[in-house]
Amino acid sequence: MSPAEIPPMLHRSQNISVSLAAHLERLIATGALPPGSRLPAERDLARTMSVSRASLREAMHELETKNLIERRPGRGTTVLERSAAVEELLGLSGGASVRDNAAELRLVVEPSVAALAATRATASNLLQLQEVLDRTTPDLRATRSLELDIEFHLLLAHAARNPLLTTLHTLMTEWTMEVRRLSHSTARSRRHSAQGHAEILRAVRAQDAGAAREAMERHLDDVRGLIEGC
């Protein structure tokens, strides 16, 4: 997506700046606005997204404090490039052994990510996660269910506000993609996945790190059992 093609916000039930920050962070998290992208001028961006410049400034301040963008007078706003350490991690190769190790790593990392998200998630992070759940309907096809599953876990990793953990999550997703597809192959497995996400979000919203960790552990155990039963 070109920065000039950033769509207007679709959800306005929350504070405008919160909704705007959630919308832009989701575009960055999912790669729609990749590293190095330069955003339109403030006046143009506010007009494109049908928001006030004051609301836009508040949203941009939040993204800046999360180290997602850089604002420089006279040079505009740019989505930050990945660090050298992140690029090195992304350069690792795949393979069956890597996928197996990544599945084990997922069991170690993701409960901690959920716990961190419970203590660090902002209002915009919670809005992003809720929007994913709202789009996760019972009639989804397997491919769409998988896409939303990946998006939920990615946005949860962003809510933990640690870029290296976000990178690890991206790698684990790529390396376990075949298994994840299997976990969304039946209506029952898709329903269990959505229920697990809802439990995780409830704990994160309650700022209960212990409950968030336990909810993620139950979710991953449930997914593993469903895969073994396929």
Q: What is the reported pTM?
A: 0.72
pLDDT, tens digit, 9 for 90 and up, residues 185-202: 899 889 999 999 999 999
Task: Give the pLDDT score at 101.
Answer: 72
> What is the domain partition of the chain in residue ranges?
3-79, 84-228
Q: Is domain 3-79 annotated with CATH 1.10.10.10?
A: yes
Task: Please say if the pLDDT value at position 10 is more than 90.
Answer: no
Q: For the domain 84-228, what is the CATH code?
A: 1.20.120.530
Mean pLDDT for the stretch of residues 106-114: 93
Comparing 5-9, 54-58, 128-132, the range with the smallest average pLDDT is 5-9
pLDDT, tens digit, 9 for 90 and up, residues 112-162: 999 999 999 999 999 999 999 999 998 999 999 999 999 999 999 999 999
- The tokens for 13 are 């039930």
Q: Where is pLDDT greater, at 31 or 221?
A: 221
Task: Please say if the pLDDT value at position 3 is more than 60.
Answer: no
